[in-house]
Amino acid sequence: MTKKWNMIVDVANCDNCRVCFLAVKDEHTGNDFPGYAAAQPAQGHNWLEIRRKERGSAPMVEAHFMPTMCNHCDDAPCIKAARDGAVTKRADGIVIIDPVKSKGQKQIVDSCPYGAISWNEEKQIPQIWIFDAHLLDSGWTQTRAEQGCPTGVFRSVKVEDAEMQRIQAAEGLEVLKPELGTKPRVYYRNLHLFTRCFVGGSVVKVVDGVEDCVEGATVVLKRGGQEIGRATTDAFGEWKIDRLEPGSSGYRVEATGEAGRFALDFDLGDESRYLGVMQLADQG
């Protein structure tokens, strides 16, 4: 079996420092790599981009960042759209757009459902992040983006497909837009930070007429009478339960502590929700 390159991207580790973005620019701007890629223009091309996602509402708000690039799909639409073998997939899984054969083929850009192909107006060619194939072929074991990242967002893995499937299952990895069936070779950890929702709140009790945060209260989230999540409040009385499907409904949250109980029924919209202050009271 042939070993193939895969990239694992951990969304939770990205802090938007953009060193990966600059590393790709540094490697490819003004540098021709015959057979791999023509030079990237100084402006207008982001072969590796950082997407931003904000979740929640005050006072419980999160900001997350996700590097995106060519997915080097096994069933790549760009290969089908290209003429004269302008786009090929190597035996090691990397997709290459030939900088000579692809001249004038703008339909290659339009074929990508991820928007990962850029059009070089000056050279009249489509271009992508090439997984730094020119470096890997010369003995490198990491791409420039991975080498430069200070927070461990990227992990290049060259393994057989069966082993990659094992890693995917063991680490809970996901791909972008799996419904398209393009079979990307870029996998994401903690993708739920972009695709799923959380609910949270603050649990308090009243002491001498004043609200006080409750640490250690148990919060249970139910749907259809079945428990689907559980959390314990922190020193500020706050709790959060994540990985909920956007637009879902029929939830009930129950908080329990020494001071009593609190329950609330709610529906979830398309965004994460802060459910507010939950005051424990004796239920009798």
| Predicted local confidence at residue 1, as pLDDT | 78
| Predicted local confidence at residue 284, as pLDDT | 53
Q: What is the mean pLDDT of residues 175-188?
A: 98
Q: What mean pLDDT, rounded, does the chain reach?
A: 96
Q: Are residues 212 and 181 in the same domain?
A: no
Distance CA 88, CA 81 (A): 11
**Residue that finishes a domain, picked among 194, 223, 244:** 194
pLDDT-based confidence at residue 207 (cuts at 50, 70, 90): confident
| Predicted local confidence at residue 116, as pLDDT | 98
Would you say residue 94 lies in a domain? yes
Q: What is the mean pLDDT of residues 271-283?
A: 91
Residue type, 260: G
**Residue that finishes a domain, picked among 170, 194, 218:** 194
From residue 282, how far is each of 29, 218, 238, 261 by CA, in Å?
66, 15, 20, 6
Q: Are residues 257 and 135 in the same domain?
A: no
Would you say residue 284 lies in a domain? no
The CATH number for 239's domain is: 2.60.40.10
Domain housing 90: 4-194
| Predicted local confidence at residue 283, as pLDDT | 62
The CATH number for 82's domain is: 3.30.70.20
Residue 59, judged by CB atoms within 10 A of its CB (0-12, 13-18, 19+), counts as exposed
Q: What is the mean pLDDT of residues 17-41?
A: 97
Query: How much of the chain exceeds pLDDT 70, in percent?
Result: 99
pLDDT (tens digit per residue) in 82-106: 999 999 999 999 999 999 999 999 9
Q: Are residues 155 and 215 in the same domain?
A: no
Q: Are residues 230 and 179 in the same domain?
A: no
Strand 273-279 to 197-207 pairing: parallel
Would you say residue 246 lies in a domain? yes
Q: Are residues 211 and 130 in the same domain?
A: no
- Contact between 74 and 216 (Cβ < 8 Å): no
Q: Are residues 178 and 216 in the same domain?
A: no
Q: What is the mean pLDDT of residues 120-148?
A: 97
pTM, entire model: 0.93
Q: What is the mean pLDDT of residues 210-226?
A: 96
Q: Are residues 255 and 153 in the same domain?
A: no
| Predicted local confidence at residue 96, as pLDDT | 98
Say yes or no to pLDDT of 208 above 90: no
Q: Are residues 246 and 271 in the same domain?
A: yes
Query: How much of the chain exceeds pLDDT 90, in percent?
Result: 96
How many domains, in total, are found in the chain? 2
Q: Are residues 81 and 181 in the same domain?
A: yes
Q: Are residues 102 and 209 in the same domain?
A: no
**Residue that finishes a domain, picked among 131, 162, 194:** 194
Q: Are residues 152 and 249 in the same domain?
A: no
Would you say residue 80 lies in a domain? yes
- Contact between 5 and 93 (Cβ < 8 Å): yes
Q: Are residues 30 and 100 in the same domain?
A: yes
| Predicted local confidence at residue 282, as pLDDT | 77
